Amino acid sequence: MKEETSQSDAALDNLDDLDGHITVRALESSDAVGFADIMTLPGVRRGTLSVGYRSPEQLQAWFDRRLKNGVNVCATIGGRMIGHAGLEVYRPSRAHCAHLGLAVHDAYHGRGVGSALLHALIDCADASLGLRRIDLTVFCDNAPAIALYRKFDFVEEGRSRGFALRDGILADVLHMARLVDAPRLQTI
């Protein structure tokens, strides 16, 4: 079921800079419908490594797994979810690492939503989780996403040719990561 757009949401749709209006919070079990709505949008399906046209049950199972693993946040405006992102923390020998996933509603690309989500997750990764490395995979032709990741100190580590099928064609991806130095011990 799609959420109806309220008059206040419609007014916000016309704003160029949403930074002051975006709320970032933890993703909750009640956010499943908003999560599914975003993951089924044409731009999200094309721009992410997500498989499109999944059943509501498949999306719910993916959402439930996501809530149980790592840290997951969403961006909202006036209660309407406009993006979500998560860090899936690796296990034992890679407990200092996490994999990033991010999706922004098609209507809100380039308006600060991705920056707000990344800022929240990186702050949590650095200050609370003690993560030293965050990695991600992005299509090589997704220039806006690559620029966003570079803004947050992600660097390209490699390219995989023919990595994923998109629009019936094998597409290349970049592997990017953000690596931070070991935190210094604080003396009191």
pLDDT at 175: 98
SS3 call for 176: strand
Rounded CA-CA distance 24/76 in Å is 6
Mean pLDDT of the chain: 86
Query: Where residue 185 falls among pLDDT bands split at 50, 70, 90?
Result: low
20-50 pLDDT, tens digit per residue, is 689 999 999 889 889 889 988 999 989 988 8
With vertex at residue 140, the alpha carbon angle to CA 179 and CA 85, rounded to the nearest 5 degrees, is 55
Query: Where residue 91 falls among pLDDT bands split at 50, 70, 90?
Result: confident
**What integer is the mean pLDDT of 7-19?**
46
Tell whether the model's pLDDT for residue 114 goes beyond 70. Answer: yes
SS3 call for 138: strand
pLDDT at 50: 81
CA distances from 51 to 29, 41, 112, 173 (A): 21, 11, 25, 15
More confident residue, 5 or 157: 157
Backbone angles phi, psi at 121, to 5 degrees: -70, -40
**What integer is the mean pLDDT of 107-119?**
96
Rounded CA-CA distance 113/136 in Å is 18
Tell whether the model's pLDDT for residue 159 goes beyond 50. Answer: yes
55-74 pLDDT, tens digit per residue, is 778 888 888 888 888 899 99
Q: Looking at domain 7-179, does it have CATH number 3.40.630.30?
A: yes
pTM for this structure?
0.84
